[in-house]
Amino acid sequence: MNEDDILDLLSGNLLYLLGAVLLIIVALKGIRIVPQSEKYVVERFGRLHSVLGPGINFIVPFLDVARHKISILERQLPNASQDAITKDNVLVQIDTSVFYRILEPEKTVYRIRDVDGAIATTVAGIVRAEIGKMDLDEVQANRSQLIGQIQASVETAVDDWGIEVTRAEILDVNLDQATRDAMLQQLNAERARRAEVTKAEGQKRAVELQADAELYAAEQAAKARRVQAQAEAYATGVVAKAIREYGIEAAQYQVALKQVEALNALGNGDGKQTIVVPAHALEAFGDAFKLLKGGK
């Protein structure tokens, strides 16, 4: 086959070739494969027509154009710092971080130009407003509650932009040096007060325990005296009964017994000593020994 034959073949089938090429181009233009992490915003004659989700999609070639390719992955705004004044007029610097994702690309594309800038500005305003409602101590103690309030307010503000705020974080709350020094002095004063209170409570407890101990000792001494008195009363009753039954001899016996006990106590004293006893006392002791032995 020479060149003339090839040219004749091509000229005779040119329309078919052009038709085939056109079909291929139309097919390529009419098929859109969207990745899992994206959505395509399709325009027809410059107006919003549809939104293509992940997977294979078909559009009208040359009429529909995938104008915007929007990532639906979660995004993080750059960490931002903004000054705010608390309810008790303390200047603080709040470091925040916000995470969001685009749910409705058509709203994001046609209602806001700079998404990150708009969200950052909204967050800054909301943070200042929420901080202004709280004292400094509340900001430090209720950080999780403050984060929840900020996130809820941001979600309400950006709802018209087709955006979902997935998380908002307060990374740090910074104070100026003067405020830090004042808080340190307050903390030291509070620690000193607690130490004094603890010391006073300890002293009070010691006094209470001492009083309890003295009261217990007094109660025990009273019980001992009561028992001793009961014993003496019982002994006296026994002696009185013996006297009633046996007459004067029982009384003489008790007197003699006491005399002997007294003599034993004198003899058992510490050290060596000389005891002078009157003669009539010796006679009494003798009578006492006789009584104890049963003599007359």
* Stretch 106-113: mean pLDDT: 90
Q: Would you place residue 75 in the very low, low, confident or very high pLDDT band (cuts 50, 70, 90)?
A: very high
Examine the pLDDT at 282 and tell me if it is beyond 60: no
Record the tokens describing residue 58, joined without a space. Answer: 């078909």
Note the pTM of the prediction, 2 decimals.
Answer: 0.55
Examine the pLDDT at 32 and tell me if it is beyond 60: yes
Helix, strand, coil percentages in the chain from 3-state DSSP, rounded to 5: 60, 20, 20
Q: Residues 190-241: pLDDT tens digits?
A: 888 888 899 899 999 999 999 999 899 888 888 988 888 888 788 777 767 7
Distance CA(165)–CA(33), nearest Å, equals: 28
Strands (DSSP E) contained in the chain are: 31-34, 38-44, 47-52, 55-58, 64-71, 75-76, 80-85, 91-102, 163-175
Half-sphere exposure of 107 (CA within 13 A, CB side): 11
Record the tokens describing residue 35, joined without a space. Answer: 């990745």
**So what's the pLDDT on residue 292?**
47
CA dist list (Å): 284 to 234, 260, 266, 269: 27, 10, 16, 21
Q: Is the distance from CB of 159 to CB of 119 less than 8 angstroms?
A: no
Examine the pLDDT at 4 and tell me if it is beyond 50: yes
The 10 Å Cβ neighbour count of residue 261 is: 11
- For the chain, the average pLDDT equals 81
Q: Residues 176-193: pLDDT tens digits?
A: 777 777 777 877 888 888
**What is the maximal distance between C-alpha atoms in the chain?**
182
Q: Is the distance from CB of 57 to CB of 38 less than 8 angstroms?
A: no
Q: Would you place residue 23 in the very low, low, confident or very high pLDDT band (cuts 50, 70, 90)?
A: confident
Examine the pLDDT at 294 and tell me if it is beyond 70: no
- For the chain, give the number of residues: 296
Q: Would you place residue 41 in the very low, low, confident or very high pLDDT band (cuts 50, 70, 90)?
A: very high
CA proximity to 123, closest of 154, 94, 93, 95: 154
Q: Would you place residue 56 in the very low, low, confident or very high pLDDT band (cuts 50, 70, 90)?
A: very high
Examine the pLDDT at 267 and tell me if it is beyond 70: no
Element (H, E) at 128: helix 115-131
